[in-house]
Amino acid sequence: MKVTKKSIVSEIIIGLFFFQLFNFLGWKNNPGFYGLEPHPYLILILLAASRYGNMAGIVSASFSAAALAGISYLFRGLHPAHDPYLFKQYIVFLLMGAVIGELRQMYIKRELGVREELEREKMRSENLNEENRLVKKVNAELEKRVLDNVSTFAGLYETSKQLQSFNPSEIYRAILQLMTRHIHAEQCSLYLLKKDELVLKETTGTEGDVPESINLLFEDGIIIKAVTNQRVYSVRDIIDSDNASAILKEGTPVMAAPLIKTDGTVIGAISIEKIPFFHITGSTVKMFTLLADWVSKDIENALYYQEAKKKNILDEVLNVYTLDYFNNRLAQEFYRSKRYGVPLSIIFVRIVGLDKMSRPLQVKMLKFTASFLNSTLRFTDIVSRYSEEIQFGLILTTTDQSQAQMAIRRFLTIFDQIGLNSAKSDEPLELEFGIGSCISTVETKEQMIELAKEDLKKWDKEKIFTEQ
C-alpha cells in the first residue's frame, strides 16, 4: 500500500489526539505531561520517524512541539520562549525526529535500492525465462525439422534402395510409395506407353477406380496433356482453359507427370488421383516434377535390363538357359513334334530343402546341380532355369515318356553315388522330378507344362525304379 504525506500527517494528528486523551483521562492535573522526562511525545516521534523516515520525524517533532506549546500556554500560561523545559523538549523532539528519521531514511533508501535491484533481477529473470522459452521453442522446431529431414532422408534412402532393383514391378511399387510419402498422394497410378496407349502398371487405388488403359488419340485429360507436352500438369493449369469442363470431369487426376527417357522420348506417366487440397501447391508441383524426372531414369534402366535379359539366352551365374529361352524353344520343339510326330518331353527338377539353406549355399547347390544336369544330358537337350520353386526345366528332344523316365533313373543313380549332403543334416540332398510329354491328348505347350507340374507334385522315387 502506497503511503502519502497526507496519511502520515493524519497518523501523527491521530496519535497526538490519543496521547492527549490518555493525558486528560489519567493525568488531569498535568496537562501536556509537563515536567516528565523523557516526554511521552517522544514515543510518537520515534514511531513516526522509525517508520517513515526523516520527513515524518521532523513533522511529528514539529507537531508534538506545537501541541506541547499550545497546551502549556492554554492550561499553564507558559510561553515557550521563556520556559527552559519547553525549549529543551522542543530541541529533543527535533533532534530525535531528525536523527531517527535520517537513520530510517538511510535504511529506506537502501531498501528501495534493494527492491529496485530485486525488480531488475526479476525482470532479468523473466527475460531469461522468456528467452529460454523461445530457445526451447526454436530448439523443438529445429529438432522437429531435423527429425523430419532424417525421416525424409531415411525414406528416400529406403526408396532409392528399392529403385535400384531391376525388377519393374518392384520399381513401380517403390515409385508410388515415393509419391505417397513425399507429396502426400492418397491415390496414384503409373502407366507405361505402348504405341498410342498408356497401360496401367501399378496403382494404390482399388480396382476400377482408375482406367486400365488410356488411348492417346481418342481421349483427353491431364495425363494426355502431360504426355503430349512432356511436362507436369495440375488442375490449376486446366481450370482456366476453354475446355476445362470437358477435361475436369469426375475421376480426373489432380496432377500428372510424364516419364521421359534420357533421349527425350516418353515412356509413360504418373497420375495423382487423390491428394489433400492444401497440398496442391507450387512446391508440391516442383517436388512432383523432380521425383518424376528421378524415377524415369530408374524405369528406363529396368526396362533396358529386362530387354537385354530377354536377348540374353544364358543365365550367367549357372551357365544354363534362361526361362524366356526355355519357353521360346519349347514352343518351337512342340510345333515340330506335332507337325512331324517327333517325341518330345520336358522334365522339371526341384531340389528338396533348398529354401532352408543360406543364400551362398543355395547358389553353390544350384551351380552344382546345373553342372550335373549339363554333364549328364545329351548335347541336344536343353537345361534352363525355371523358377524359385522349380529350379530347373529340361527339354528332351526326340524323347518320349518312358525314355524320360530312364533319364531320371540315370540322374538319380549318378546323383546318389556322389552323395552330396545338405548343410543341416546327414541326409543326401534330394532331387524331385516331374515329366510332361507331348502325347496325343496334349494340344498346347502349356498343357505339357501343367502335366510336368502335376507329375512333380506326385513324385515317387521308388515308383520310378519299379516301373523299369
**What's the pLDDT at 191?**
92
In the predicted model, is pLDDT for residue 205 greater than 50?
yes
Sequence-ordered alpha helix ranges (H) in 321-400: 323-340, 359-376
Backbone angles phi, psi at 319, to 5 degrees: 60, 40
Question: Per residue in 282-331, pLDDT tens?
Answer: 888 888 888 888 888 888 888 888 777 777 788 878 889 999 889 999 99
pTM listed for this prediction? 0.46
* C-alpha distance from residue 210 to each of 77, 103, 137, 196, 206 (Å): 121, 94, 45, 18, 8
Q: Please name which of 432, 437, 438, 439 lies closest in space to residue 456, comparing C-alpha atoms.
A: 432
Average confidence score pLDDT of the chain: 80
Question: Per residue in 85-111, pLDDT tens?
Answer: 777 777 777 787 777 777 877 887 888
Contact 168, 303 (CB under 8 A): yes
pLDDT band at 42 (very low <50, low <70, confident <90, very high): confident
**What's the pLDDT at 335?**
92
Domain with CATH 3.30.450.40 in the chain: 182-310
Q: What is the mean pLDDT of residues 247-271?
A: 82
pLDDT band at 154 (very low <50, low <70, confident <90, very high): low
Q: What is the CATH number that goes with domain 314-466?
A: 3.30.70.270
pLDDT above 90 covers what percent of the chain? 17
Q: What is the mean pLDDT of residues 254-266?
A: 89
Q: What is the mean pLDDT of residues 21-43?
A: 74
pLDDT band at 143 (very low <50, low <70, confident <90, very high): low
Count of residues in the chain: 468
Neighbour tally for 306: CB within 10 Å: 14
Question: Per residue in 340-363, pLDDT tens?
Answer: 889 999 999 998 888 888 888 888
In the predicted model, is pLDDT for residue 138 greater than 90?
no
Question: Per residue in 225-251, pLDDT tens?
Answer: 888 889 998 887 777 665 555 455 556
Contact 166, 302 (CB under 8 A): yes
Contact 323, 386 (CB under 8 A): yes
**What's the pLDDT at 424?**
46
Domain with CATH 3.30.70.270 in the chain: 314-466
CATH architecture assignment, domain 182-310: 2-Layer Sandwich (3.30)
Question: Per residue in 386-433, pLDDT tens?
Answer: 998 999 999 999 999 999 999 998 888 887 777 555 444 445 578 899
pLDDT band at 148 (very low <50, low <70, confident <90, very high): low
Q: Is the dihedral of CA 415, 419, 424, 426 positive or negative?
A: positive
- Position 448: which residue type? M
**CA–CA–CA angle 170, 176, 181 (5° rounding):** 120
Of these ranges, 22-36, 135-149, 434-448, the one predicted with the greatest mean pLDDT is: 434-448
pLDDT band at 448 (very low <50, low <70, confident <90, very high): very high
**CA–CA–CA angle 246, 251, 256 (5° rounding):** 85
